[in-house]
Amino acid sequence: MITEHNTPHTKHSTQPSGFTLLEVLAAVAILAIVLVAVFRLHFQTIAMTGASKFYTLAPLLAQTKLTELDVAGIENATPDGGDFGSDMPGYRWRVETEEVLPAILENGPGSMIKIEVTVSMNDEDMIYRMRTYRFVQQ
């Protein structure tokens, strides 16, 4: 009697091993969709971080310029602009003043001045405006 023994060398499988081309393409497509979504979320996070930094710093910088105007004297304020130097690269400021004459103050002892301080970043890519009114005695 002859018996056959399956050894590792003689064992044959009827099913092919490995992945089919269709399975590989489906896996690559799913991976591409997931990576695009992850990269988009990462980019949005970076953009929101930059915007958050600007809208945190801009009010402080505008208040600094307004304080400088207060110290120099509001009545001497003229439209001006510039940058914040090497401490805040990319940030620029502009001050605009306008005398406002409400009817109540027409014959009063002073005048009302509207002051608008604008802080911008990257050539006005982002803009923050602070407007205030100050009474100046004459």
CB 100 within 8 Å of CB 115: no
As a whole number of angstroms, the distance between CA 73 and CA 12 comes to: 96
Task: Dig out the tokens for 95 from the structure.
Answer: 């001050």
CB 85 within 8 Å of CB 65: no
Domain annotation covers residue 74: yes
Domain range enclosing 132: 21-137
**Does the structure show a pLDDT above 60 at 10?**
no
Torsion of CA 47, 50, 52, 57, to 10 degrees: -160
Domain annotation covers residue 10: no
Domain annotation covers residue 9: no
How many structural domains comprise the chain? 1
As a whole number of angstroms, the distance between CA 135 and CA 138 comes to: 10
pTM score, whole prediction:
0.67
Q: Convert the pLDDT of each residue in 22-42 to its tens digit.
A: 999 999 999 999 999 999 999
